[in-house]
Amino acid sequence: MKRILSFAVALLISCLLFGQKAEKVAKEVLGNQNGSEVALFTLTNKAGNVLKISNYGAKIVRIDVPDKNGVKDNITTGSEKLEFIVKGDPFGGASIGRFANRIANGKFTLDGIEYSLPINNAPNTLHGGRNGWFSKVWNAEIVKGKQPAVKFTYISPDMEEGFPGTVSVSVTYTWSDKNEIIIDYAATTDKKTVVNFTNHAYFNLHGAGKGYIFDHILTLNASKYTPLNETKIPTGEIRSVKDTPFDFTTPHQMGYKIGETYEDKVFMGYDDNFVLDGSAEACATVYDPESGRFMEVITDQPGLQFYSGMGGTAWKKAAVNGEKPSSSRSAFALETQHFPDSPNQAGFPTTVLNPGEQFKSRTIYRFSVRNK
């Protein structure tokens, strides 16, 4: 009897452990795009919190985390339906490459050779061109380990979107038991080229689609930024944030300067690169007092693009009236990166990747709660 009981207990424990392991990553085939299978991967950590990602664009489509009362909600924009994953916002949640952000006039020179890229954000190239990596179906592999993870791989052929070299790239998402999205990038090339990778997830700590984000409190470990010209290209200057709307070295609401006059213009919002100081673990933190959700961004990259939406200032009137309408101001992005237009800016950190080298980088989005 004892043997039977012991065997039954062992079998039950084994089944429970196996079940937990099997439930860590679930795959659902959504359909096909240009003859390639598009799938949705659901990663569940020990706390039962969920990260959903697709191999189309290697993109994040859902992040469920609790608020201060333990109520879970999705805090990123996106969709779990094939039609919207493919035809919705092309950048939202996606892995961006070959070159994140803008390249001036769609041109750069490498070893005396000028390369021309497609213009998709006139007069510049944005996020790798019209058919950047955000629009590709990546190969996917569920990674075996203690925490749920999926590895996406893609081979970008020589001269794809005008960039030289065949680049082999991988993006691995790990969803930790600490509610961390750990994103590991790796890439090699067979010809000298330029690379700049990021993730373009949009966040709203109130919950996706639940109003404006300008009461979110932002802190950036960045005492300098790269000023832009009228076409959103860096001037080459690296300027102090002191006495500008770009000073988030101490905590401020995201909208604290929007609508005010700066340099003789009404300041309409943020789509700007910050130069990271690297003196703290987190390069950025965001706190939503209403939900208690707290977000940290950790990276080894030199820059961070803060995007707030560039609409009007009607949100201020709505906030006074206690309204929270959904709009272009209803989510923000914090994109870890090298600086925009780096191939044309000798004073910026290099983005050149040579044959025989491996580009490696890690970014972490960590979520928790604070009660005050």
161 is an active site residue: no
Q: What is the CB-side half-sphere exposure of residue 141 using CA atoms within 13 A? A: 10
> Residue 10, CB half-sphere, CA atoms under 13 Å: how many?
6
Whole-angstrom distance, CA of residue 35 vs CA of residue 20: 33
Give the number of other CB atoms < 10 A from CB of residue 202.
22
Does 118 sit behind a cis peptide bond, omega within 30 degrees of 0 on the bond before it?
no
Q: Is 263 a catalytic residue?
A: no
Which tokens go with 67? Answer: 């608020």
Out of 216, 296, 335, 338, the active site residue is 335
Buried/exposed 36-62: b ≥16 CB within 10 Å, e otherwise: eebbbbbbbbeeebbbbbbbbbbbbbb
Specify the 3-state DSSP secondary structure of 116. Answer: strand
Which of 127, 160, 180, 200 is the catalytic position?
200
End-to-end CA distance of the chain: 56
Vertex 343 angle, CA 337 and 346, to 5°: 100
Q: How far apart are CA 108 and CA 112, in angstroms?
A: 10
Could you tell me if 37 and 49 are in contact, meaning their C-beta atoms sit under 8 angstroms apart? no
Give the residue among 279, 278, 266 at the shortest CA–CA distance from 310.
266
Distance CA 181, CA 279 (A): 22
Amino acid code (one letter) for 320: V
Active site residues per annotation: 200, 335
